[in-house]
Amino acid sequence: MSLYGHAEFPASSYDKWKTTPPDFYADVDERECDHEEFDYDILTGRAFCNYCDHQWWLTEAQLKAMESAVLEYDRMMRRERRWWRIAWRTLADWLVSFRVDSDEVPF
């Protein structure tokens, strides 16, 4: 037994294992998709799952919820852009207040 709890392999088996590319997606077909992450077309009301090929029509309530989420995100981004614009303007004004004209040089 090795440190990791499995039997030691002969060198030829280890070389075969090391040179074989891993199959990361072997269990993809076995996984059941919940369609939690999806894209949608707001014009047609059609949704497309990001993991599987499933497509479905969104209900009117789901479309309104998506639209309100997009509008809320847009409002939030506008507030954030306004905040950054004010912050940079304030910082620039503060830095300009320290500017020394050539006539004010003390020596």
Range of the domain at 44: 33-97
Long-range Cβ contact pairs of 40-44 (< 8 A, separation 24 or more): 40/66, 42/66, 42/67
pLDDT at 9 over 70: no
Looking at residue 6, its pLDDT comes to 53
For residue 2, tell me if it sits in a domain.
Answer: no
Q: In angstroms, rounded to a whole number, what is the distance separating the alpha carbons of residues 59 and 63?
A: 6
HSE-CB for 37 with a 13 A CA cutoff: 3
For residue 51, tell me if it sits in a domain.
Answer: yes
For residue 77, tell me if it sits in a domain.
Answer: yes
For residue 10, tell me if it sits in a domain.
Answer: no
For residue 18, tell me if it sits in a domain.
Answer: no
Local confidence band at 97 (pLDDT 50, 70, 90 cut-offs): confident
Q: In which element (H, E) is residue 38 found?
A: strand 38-41
For residue 15, tell me if it sits in a domain.
Answer: no
Number of separate domains in the chain: 1
For residue 17, tell me if it sits in a domain.
Answer: no
